[in-house]
Amino acid sequence: MAVDLHLHTHHSDGTWSPTQLVARAIELKLSHIALTDHDTMAGVEEAQECAAGRLQVIPAIEINTVWQGENQQFQDVHILGYYLDKNSWQLQQLLCRQQEARRKLVFATVERLAELKFGLTIEMVEQCAGLGSIGRPHITQAIVNCGGAKDVVEAYERYMVPASPYYVRRESVNPVEAIEAINQAGGVASLAHPGRVEQSKDLILMLKHCGLRALEAYHRRHSLQTVRRNIRFAHDNGLAVTGGSDCHGPLAEYSATVGSISVPLDVVTKLLDLCNR
């Protein structure tokens, strides 16, 4: 049986509803999935009801944090949380802060882009977001919709990168705060898509000291060599491993990737062991 512990729905920046995602996972005969929408757990209950025991839906999340390193540069760090009590007061408070930071980013970005006069409005971005945690993917789609770029890739590269004069840095929580909230909610915190751990090992070890308990070794964009290197690093440093496809549903440029990478079932077993300690 296969598992996929990194999946998004239209409650953040995916295209499928939780019901559609679960239906596809059942078709693929997955045994466990985790909805890891950005900064929200709004889709978990629907997914669990749709699954109806045909597969296990782990209550999870991906928290988009920002870390300021010793060189004073800001770095996006995504923290996954598994087996969470969504009613945890500390987690709810943190997610309220995240949603407010997202709204501020959107308003500030639209304000900066107004000088380009291609007609972008807050309402256009909100329409693209729908039920989702509003953010940069919805800004870029709205830019395309009103003729400000030919596609979302161009929109992102022109307006959403730090080098752009229209870039706005999101005032997100930091990864230590996210890890603390996940632990308070009874869950397990894992660093999302670390790439080659050599590039961020000091940060990983610092976060382990603050309560990080796992590393996302398996990921659709990790080569086999990178997966093996990350598993070895996690083992050597007392961290569990997690993994998933990081599926956002079917998009114009590619099909849905749910279940597209091999993640062993014992990943789930070890996460449960950590929750019970």
Q: Is residue 229 part of a domain?
A: yes
90 CB-contact burial (10 Å; exposed 0-12 / middle 13-18 / buried 19+)? middle
* Amino acid 100: pLDDT: 96
Range of the domain at 144: 104-159
Rounded (10°) angle between helices 122-129 and 89-113? 140
CA distances for 228 relative to 148, 216, 235, angstroms:
42, 11, 11
SS3 158: helix
Q: What does pTM read for this prediction?
A: 0.94
* 180 and 53 housed in the same domain: yes
Q: Is residue 30 part of a domain?
A: yes
Residue 1 has pLDDT above 90, yes or no: no
Which residue type occupies 164?
S
* Amino acid 273: pLDDT: 93
180 dihedral zone (left: phi>0; alpha: psi -120 to 50; beta): alpha
Which of the residue ranges 73-82, 128-137, 190-199, 234-243 would you say has the lowest mean pLDDT? 190-199
Instruction: Output phi, psi for 273, to 5 deg.
Output: -60, -40
- pLDDT tens digits along 158-172: 999 999 999 999 899
Structural domain count of the chain:
2
* 238 and 190 housed in the same domain: yes
- pLDDT tens digits along 57-67: 999 999 999 99
